[in-house]
Structure 1
Amino acid sequence: MSVITRVLPKRRMSRWIGHLMHWEPPAFLASLMIKAFASFYKIDLDEAEKPYNQYKSIGDFFVRRLKTGIRPVGESWAVHPADSVITQAAPIDGGTMIQAKGITYKLEDFTQDPEAKKKWAGGFFLTYYLCPTDYHRVHSPVDGEITDVRYMPGQLWPVNEWSTTHIKDLFTVNERVLVEIETDLGPVGVVFVGATNVGHIVLSFDDKVRGNQKGPHIFQHKRYTPPIPVHKGSELGMFRMGSTVVMLYPPSFRQAFENSLHKGPSVRVNAALIQGKSSGL
């Protein structure tokens, strides 16, 4: 698999697949394709905002919104940002994060922020893996203000279990977008990590930042003046195919996470991240 993956034109292939997924066939054919896609991945059609036959393509259905109220926002200070599986949850000790067992990567390399250690070293991170079965919009885990966005161009390696255990520094070489949210207890980072077949990373509050586009891929750092208010559960963006979100929390949250973190084999967007009200926050 390694040899095949290395020689594939991953960025171009991902754009092609993105275009294919968003091809709009005649309505009856689109409905058949979407129903087959949902059946194959065991997607609950009753959760979608619209009936499946009102979506124009598989790609349109893939980034569907959910029915209002179907994922109520939890009462804890922070909530989960996506429907997903948590693959890693650990302290950020010495500015180092865990990619897989025995494999680590550096916070500063991952964020390309010279202030990253000051913000998040000694804090806590969580890695969320989204598969095709999941709802693919990402929501804010906290109340606060969006102050910065960093677009970091890079590769589009897969982010599956094989890749995380075999490709060194996977998360620091893949394309990614970091959304920084300032809160009463410090900065929180939401990092969208691109992958093979992720046609685009799209932000809901800024359509000028978009992943995997044609042309030169240049690092961007945008500061928002004034900052953009955001509420817990507000939509931040989406993946136009599956990938990974990495959450960065400052040291002020670490004790609460270590004592009361609510995680399991899979989690739902907007569900409480910290159990109970005695979280120490």
Structure 2
Amino acid sequence: MSAITRILPKRRLSRWMGHLMHWEGPKWWTNLSIKSFANMYNINLDEAEKSYNEYTSIGDFFVRRLKSGIRPIGEGFAVHPADSKITQCAAIDGGTLIQAKGITYSLKGFTQDPEAEKKWAGGMFMTYYLCPTDYHRVHSPVDGEITDVRYMPGQLWPVNEWSTTNIKDLFTVNERVLIEIQTELGPVGVMFVGATNVGYICLSFDESIKGNQKGPHIFQHKKYTPEILTHKGAELGMFRMGSTVVMLYPPAFRQKYEGKMDLGPVVRVNAPLTGKI
């Protein structure tokens, strides 16, 4: 798998896959494709905002919104940002995060923020993996103000279990977008990590930031003045296919929550961080 994956044109392949997923073919074909896709991945159609036959393509269905109120917002400082599986949760010590057992990566390299260790070293991180079954919009886990966004172009390696255990610095070489939210406990980072077939990351509050587009891929750092007010449950953006979100929390969060979170393997967006590990 490694040799094949290394030589594939992952960015171009991902763009082609995106075009295919959003192809609006004959209505009978679109309906059949969406229904087959939902059956294949055991997607609960009753949770979708619209009936499956109202979507124009598999891609349109993939980034479907949910019915209003179906994911109530939990209490507490933070909630989960996505329907997903939690693959890692630990303290940020030594300026590193855990990619997989025995494999770490640099906080500074991951964020491309020279102030990253000042903000998040000594805090906590949580890694959420979204598979095709999941709802693919990402919501704010906290109340606060969006101050910065960093777009970091890169590769589009898969982010499955094989990749996280075999590709060094996977999360620092893949394309990603970091949203920084200032909160009462300090800065919170929401990192969208792209992957093969998932390079197209879109932000709901800033349409100028989009992943894996044609043309030059240049690092961008945007500061918002005034800041953009957000709140728990507010939509931040979406993936066009399954991928990963990494949450970065400051030391004050760790002091408040360490040992007090119920981190089951599968969580739902807006669910509270409650219980005990």
TM-score range, shorter chain: over 0.9
Quote the residue 1:104 is aligned against.
Answer: 104
Quote the residue 1:264 is aligned against.
Answer: 264
Partners in 2 of 1:199 and 1:192 — Cα distance?
10
TM-superposed CA distance for 1:76, in Å, is: 1.6
Partners in 2 of 1:274 and 1:110 — Cα distance?
28
Partners in 1 of 2:89 and 2:7 — Cα distance?
32
Partners in 1 of 2:103 and 2:259 — Cα distance?
25
TM-score by length of 2: 0.98
Partners in 1 of 2:199 and 2:86 — Cα distance?
23
May I ask how many residue pairs the two structures share in their alignment?
Answer: 276
Quote the residue 2:7 is aligned against.
Answer: 7
TM-superposed CA distance for 1:199, in Å, is: 4.3
Partners in 1 of 2:103 and 2:140 — Cα distance?
28
TM-superposed CA distance for 1:259, in Å, is: 1.8
Partners in 2 of 1:190 and 1:262 — Cα distance?
20
Quote the residue 1:42 is aligned against.
Answer: 42
**Equivalent pair of 1:33/1:58 in contact (CA under 8 Å):** yes
Partners in 2 of 1:250 and 1:274 — Cα distance?
18
| Aligned-partner residue type, residue 167 of structure 2 | I
| Aligned-partner residue type, residue 218 of structure 2 | I
| RMSD value, Cα | 0.9
Quote the residue 1:201 is aligned against.
Answer: 201
Quote the residue 1:124 is aligned against.
Answer: 124
**Equivalent pair of 2:156/2:199 in contact (CA under 8 Å):** no
| Aligned-partner residue type, residue 90 of structure 2 | A
| Aligned-partner residue type, residue 151 of structure 1 | Y
Partners in 2 of 1:256 and 1:172 — Cα distance?
28
| Aligned-partner residue type, residue 102 of structure 1 | G
For structure 2, list consecutive stretches of 5 or more residues without a partner in the other structure. none
2:145 maps to 1:145: yes
Partners in 2 of 1:14 and 1:259 — Cα distance?
39
Quote the residue 1:55 is aligned against.
Answer: 55
Partners in 2 of 1:126 and 1:193 — Cα distance?
13
**Equivalent pair of 1:83/1:269 in contact (CA under 8 Å):** yes
**Equivalent pair of 1:263/1:273 in contact (CA under 8 Å):** yes
For structure 1, list consecutive stretches of 5 or more residues without a partner in the other structure. 277-281
| Aligned-partner residue type, residue 104 of structure 1 | T
2:205 aligned counterpart, secondary structure? coil
Identity, in percent, stands at 78
TM-score by length of 1: 0.97
Which stretches of structure 1, 4 residues or more, deviate above 4 A after TM superposition? none
